[in-house]
Amino acid sequence: MDTSFSDYRHLLRTRGFGRVSVSVHGRVMLAVAEGPFDGELMMATRRAVRLAAKQLPRDGFFVSLVEFRHSLEMEPEALPRLAEAVHGYISQGVVSRSLVFVAGDDLPGVENLDAVMAIWRPTRPVLRAHNMAEGWRLLNQALVAAGYPAEPPVA
């Protein structure tokens, strides 16, 4: 199955706020999230994940990487909507075996990261990386530990 990065990118932007792109690369679901975030963007992200999930491996084993860019600032309704979206993924059976968030310490709104990570923690291991190289290393550790080959980083 050809799951090259550019083939399955789903990009969503909402007015006045950030954008999110979701793609599948082998056994990696990659999301690039550019804040700030509001509830509408969180629900749009749910739709993008649902579309990208159609390209996941048939055996259902995959890992996820979410890179935050520009900002992790959120409107008050963003976290509850994010929790709603995550519960939607779970009910649809879209649950990665490991999830890595990439966010630098200097990212505006980085103080929201703990609350974001807490939403996913009950359903899978959740890790934090400070840069993409570290994020890919952590994902590949999870893949190799499960008996799958490492995936090359996507530029």
Residues ≥6 apart with Cβ < 8 Å to 85: 42, 43, 45, 46, 49
Residue that wins the pLDDT comparison between 53 and 131: 131
pLDDT at 152 over 90: yes
Residues ≥6 apart with Cβ < 8 Å to 20: 11, 12, 31, 32, 33, 34, 41, 44, 45, 48
Judge: domain 5-145, CATH 3.30.750.
yes
Sketch the domain layout of the chain as residue ranges.
5-145
Among 35-39, 48-52, 63-67, 125-129, name the one with the lowest average pLDDT: 35-39
What is the predicted pLDDT for the residue at 42? 78
Residue that wins the pLDDT comparison between 67 and 16: 67
What is the tens place of the pLDDT at every residue in 14-46? 445 678 889 999 999 999 988 888 878 877 888
Over range 134-148, report the average pLDDT: 96
Question: What tokens does 98 get?
Answer: 């490991």
What is the predicted pLDDT for the residue at 25? 94
What is the tens place of the pLDDT at every residue in 71-98? 889 888 888 988 988 888 888 888 899 9
